[in-house]
Amino acid sequence: MAGNLTHEFELYPPETFRILLEHEVNRSRRYRNPLTLIHFAIEAEPNEPTTQHSAEVFAINVLNLQLRQTDIPCKREDEFIILIPSTDEEGGRMVCQRLENMFNVQPQTYDRVSFKMSVFIGMASSPGDSSLSSNKLRQQASTAMQRARANRASNTVLFSEIT
């Protein structure tokens, strides 16, 4: 699931995530439930494979502490995507604030590797209307994360605030 890492909280492979995202989008449209997608990227300094790996393991442990069993996390390269079913923008903001508090700390030492980590978080939410699509939600969260990364923002960028 998450490569060779051993941890309690399994991350979904991208293909499984895509299927679950489609299912949750359809359910959201049908029952008018809100849906939130968080997209974040990690950059570790020094920029070395060992450091990046330690930062990713640290991020997975943060997710293990902060996410509910019903949340659906996925990892793609140095980026993570988290689908949060039945959660509106305000609830998503709270999740992002908890993640910010866990990530935005002084340089880390994890598994005997010291590093400085930057995390760039983007978020998109939908109230569960009929215009919702998985591609639209993914694109919005990705756009918000790219804006956060481009601006080196330490706070979450909400798609609703950049449109």
- Position 2 scores a pLDDT of 39
Q: Would you place residue 1 in the very low, low, confident or very high pLDDT band (cuts 50, 70, 90)?
A: very low
Give the residue extent of every domain in the chain. 14-161
Task: Give the closest residue to 70 by CA, choosing from 56, 86, 89, 58.
Answer: 86
Task: Give the pairing type, strands 113-126 and 108-110.
Answer: antiparallel
SS3 at position 130: coil
CATH, domain 14-161, list 3.30.465.10, 3.30.70.270, 3.60.20.10, 3.40.190.180: 3.30.70.270
pLDDT at 43 over 50: yes
pLDDT at 156 over 50: yes
More confident residue, 163 or 36: 36
- Position 4 scores a pLDDT of 42
- Position 35 scores a pLDDT of 97
Q: Give the model confidence (pLDDT) of 5-42 as tens digits.
A: 444 457 999 999 999 999 999 999 999 999 999 999 99
Q: What is the DSSP string of 59-107?
A: HHHHHHHH--TT-EEEEETTEEEEEEET--HHHHHHHHHHHHHHHSSSP
Q: Would you place residue 73 in the very low, low, confident or very high pLDDT band (cuts 50, 70, 90)?
A: very high
- Position 109 scores a pLDDT of 59
- Position 3 scores a pLDDT of 43
Whether 22 and 83 have beta carbons less than 8 Å apart is answered as no
